[in-house]
Structure 1
Amino acid sequence: AQLPVLKISGATYSSNPVYRMAIVNGQVLHEGDLAAPGLQLEKIEQGRTIWSFRGYRYGLASQ
């Protein structure tokens, strides 16, 4: 219930991490960026994004 709402509009994967990005809640995020307080985009993989929030890790399918 405390998890912030995420709307992932799209994600771009590249073998070079510098070029990976996701559009989340209207913002362009890169690996390591915060989408909301305490909610970090850890990694962008092909087909999903990996998030961490208060000690929990989880994946969400990319559009």
Structure 2
Amino acid sequence: MKSKWKVTTNTVCGEKMYGVYRIRNINEVDHSGNREMAGGYIESKETAQSIADKLNAESEATK
């Protein structure tokens, strides 16, 4: 079972960057091999959260 889409942060070249991810299997440990990313890192936390919200809404609509 997959988790909801969430926002993660990472420092890249001294700049805070944001990514959208979800856990592939919530019954397993959270690590990079158990994460599904929605694209790459971006500079805007608000944009990343908007993407996560949209993906979560789409997932709910298909249930």
What is the TM-score with the length of structure 2 in the denominator?
0.28
Higher relative CO (CA 8 A, sep ≥ 6), structure 1 or 2? 2
Q: Comparing both structures, which one devotes a greater share of its residues to helix?
A: 2
Which structure's CA Rg is the greater one?
A: 2
